[in-house]
Amino acid sequence: MKTLVIATRRSRLALWQAEHIAGLLRKFHDDLKVELLPLSTRGDELLDRRLDQAGGKGLFVKELENAMADARAHLAVHSIKDVPADLPPGFALAAITAREDPRDAFVSSKYKELGEMPSGATVGTSSLRRSAQIAERFPRLEIRLLRGNVDTRLAKLDRGEYDAIVLAAAGLKRLGLEARATAPLKVDEMLPAPGQGALGIECLAARAEVAALLAPLADSATTICVRAERAVSRALGGSCALPLAAYAEYSTKLRLRALVASSDGRRVIRCDLEGDAADPQGLGERAAVELRRLGAQEILGI
């Protein structure tokens, strides 16, 4: 192949991610031309409600998948945390690249940390996962819906619409905005979403020649961890309507921490397991079984 076309969302962060992958492809394949196809997605357009109310994570990827199915693009670059646990038939995650900071970041010009915020202070987020974990630890705070791209969210904070917001640290770093993070939230304080901080490259499952070009971009350790995390989500329904978090770390053993919560944070169930890195899917499924055993079915109605 002489030219690869990358389908991408139009946000500044999505374009950065696509350009980053394009640069890696050019590095590994000197004679390859890489172009971007920026597209608007329903997830970018519906900003007045949470994703679970608007149609789920698929709202961010459907138009990009259509572009691949119609042969307008060969691949799409996603933040893995925005990708549904189950892809549509005929599509595959061909590569998962090395993970950036997986943590969430507390952002505020008024307060140094969540614990410093007074009763009734407002925190902006669109994530049920973040909302539940904040509500569990700080029930005195008011959590308000915050949608839009990173720049839009920061602008709303700067206009005083919120006292603080919570964003993914990776997005801030990729945009050169890490100085806006007041404080990182430790993984123990705010367990990340499955795949948070990692980029996934999707293509048609039948396009073996595209997958071969993408293979050098894959990071084995990140792939193992993300597979375990996404297996938890898949086993529990794979929907952004679930206040669910999962984070894996790999050294000699694969450690996986996961939680499910009620949306108000009053019930939070956690598990912390270790397993063989050769079977990340199995570890994720085992974590889901453990969460169910501890009461996840009652919380999530599954």
Contact yes or no for 141/147 (Cβ under 8 A): no
Q: Which of 140, 163, 159, 143 is nearest to 151 (CA)?
A: 159
Burial class, 182, CB count within 10 angstroms (exposed 0-12 / middle 13-18 / buried 19+): middle
Helix, strand, coil shares of the chain, percent, nearest 5, are 40, 25, 40
- Predicted pLDDT at 299: 84
Distance CA 239, CA 57 (A): 8
Whether 49 has a pLDDT exceeding 60, the answer reads no
Query: Residues 160-199: pLDDT tens digits?
Result: 999 999 999 999 999 999 999 999 999 999 999 999 999 9
- Predicted pLDDT at 53: 47
Distance CA 295, CA 282 (A): 20
pTM: 0.91
Contact yes or no for 130/141 (Cβ under 8 A): no
**Residues catalogued as catalytic:** 82
User: Where are the chain's structural domains?
Assistant: 3-99+198-218, 104-185, 235-300
Q: Please tell me the CATH code under which domain 235-300 is placed.
A: 3.30.160.40
- Options 3.30.10.20, 3.40.190.10, 3.40.50.300, 1.10.1370.40; CATH for 3-99+198-218 is 3.40.190.10
Which whole number is the average pLDDT over 230-239? 87
List the single range of 45-59, 134-148, 260-274 with lowest mean pLDDT: 45-59
The band of 298, judged by pLDDT with boundaries at 50, 70 and 90, is: confident
Q: Which of 269, 186, 196 is nearest to 230 (CA)?
A: 196
Kindly report the average pLDDT of the chain as a whole number.
92
Q: Percent of the chain scored above 90 by pLDDT?
A: 85
- Predicted pLDDT at 44: 54
Query: Residues 128-148: pLDDT tens digits?
Result: 999 999 999 999 999 999 989
- Predicted pLDDT at 245: 96
Classify residue 221 by its DSSP letter. H
- The amino acid that residue 120 corresponds to is G
Asked if domains 3-99+198-218 and 104-185 share a fold, the reply is: yes
Whether 55 has a pLDDT exceeding 80, the answer reads no
Fold of 104-185: D-Maltodextrin-Binding Protein; domain 2 (3.40.190)
Query: Residues 95-113: pLDDT tens digits?
Result: 999 999 999 999 999 999 9
Which whole number is the average pLDDT over 241-256? 92
The band of 1, judged by pLDDT with boundaries at 50, 70 and 90, is: confident
